[in-house]
Homo-oligomer: A and B are copies of this chain.
């Protein structure tokens, strides 16, 4: 199981300081959507410049203009770009085509998808590299979690890797591991840790 650190509430300098602590520990460094809303592709470009060997995911959450927006992310150096699972298949096809041109990867974000099983099968056939079940941060306080969806899609997906995002932390890693996700996306449980490097190591240990 691989670990993706999501950096959401930071500026480019803060994100680079976090990366300095964990670029050799985590598997993927995510430039989160709030960072992109504030700074566009600046943090993606800076991260790849400073850590060219790091795998950087740009959480653009594309829902239209698939070729253009994926192109911007890949030109900035992103290794993986996200597209919303609720996007039209045509948009997703354009993201996939652009990813192929750049020899990069795609992740579908399943946020707000109602029938996760059906959509995951469709996305798997379309050729997404990673399918990420995801509970919005805005609804996590209601006790909703993405683990039921992860269990549902895991046996149905054959080509894509599976990932899970939304409130994951030390306490939920054993459950996620038991379901068999390929990748777990962790945000505040790591970025809020007193010692980020130590926390990331601990989490990797729990995952192995």
Contact = CB atoms under 8 A, between A and B. Distances in A.
A138 B63 CA distance: 10
A197 B65 CA distance: 26
Contact of A112 (B8, B68, B88): B88
A75 to B, nearest CB: 9
Q: What is the total number of copies of this protein in its complex? A: 2
A206 interface: no
A37 to B, nearest CB: 5
Given A9-B68, A41-B37, A73-B37, A112 B87 contact: yes
Interface of A: 8-9, 33-34, 36-42, 60-61, 63-66, 68-69, 72-73, 84, 86-88, 90-91, 94, 111-112, 136-139, 142
